[in-house]
Amino acid sequence: MDKDNNKSGRIDIEDLSWEYLDGDGDFRSKEVKKLRDEADIIVTNPPFSLFREFVDWIFEGKKDFIILGNENNETDKDIFKLIRESKMWLGKSNGEMAFRVPKTSENRETRFWVDETGQKWRSFGNMCWFTNIDLGRRHQPLRLMNMEDNLKFNKPLIKTLKEKYNVDSYPEFDNYSVIEVPRYDAIPNDYAKPMAVPITFLKYHDPYQFKILNANDFRKSDEIPKKAHGLIKDKESTINGKATYVRVVIINRSEEDGSKAKD
């Protein structure tokens, strides 16, 4: 868009011009691959069932991107590896998102409404942006307390530890040499060893503040199977025999090496 096509005296959205594709728009087609190779940035909502394949397709083209996906994609072994290696991260405005849907869409009892124009909408609470374009929010460190203060003043943490594990301190996993931090806002800022945090931590991850690690490196025994995704997950993710949700292993960078050097 670099011409004042409608002679309005300015170049804006009204000057957009386009041509329709010959094919059906499948990203795997030669036609769309050619467009990918010509693009500077890819911004789209890829088919969720082909999300991992689509990400591979973008990286094959070595492109910057901003794409929508389901939060569950974070735990895929290939997607999480890219996140762990800081080749991809979560963008802004993750969580509740609303989407316009066709008027022919079936009405639903929840997360559905029709606005004053008759447009139908649906919302989803597990959507997020994935990107490799840096942004300021990614470099805003979490403001955290030390371990002693968390155990004294963080009431949600104290309640969780008592009700779920019947302990008054951060417990260690049965099969991994890391402590459990059940809430991202309860991460102790003075703890120098690896710790496991909820997957929601990835929304707030500052790569200068914390380093994401491979959970396989902290198995207590070789009898614990290695996980391709590098997360604490599945039947081995227990504490006193009780299973947890998916956990990401991290370490405080300042405690790790005394610097903010990024890998």
Give residue-wise pLDDT tens across range 71-97: 999 999 999 999 999 999 998 765 678
Asked whether residue 207 carries a pLDDT value surpassing 70, the answer given is yes
Beta strands at 179-180 and 195-198: parallel, antiparallel or unpaired: parallel
CA–CA dist 167, 136 (Å, integer): 38
Count of other CB atoms within 10 angstroms of residue 22: 8
Residue 258: predicted pLDDT? 41
**Token pair belonging to 31:** 């036609």
Give residue-wise pLDDT tens across range 45-59: 999 899 999 999 999
pTM equals: 0.85
| Letter string b/e over residues 197-232, b meaning 16 or more CB atoms within 10 A of that residue's CB | bbbbbbbbbebebbbbbbbbebbeeeeeeebebbbb
Residue 124: predicted pLDDT? 84
| Letter string b/e over residues 83-101, b meaning 16 or more CB atoms within 10 A of that residue's CB | bbeeebbbbeebeeeeeee
Give residue-wise pLDDT tens across range 94-124: 567 888 999 898 998 899 999 999 999 999 8
Beta strands at 179-180 and 95-101: parallel, antiparallel or unpaired: unpaired
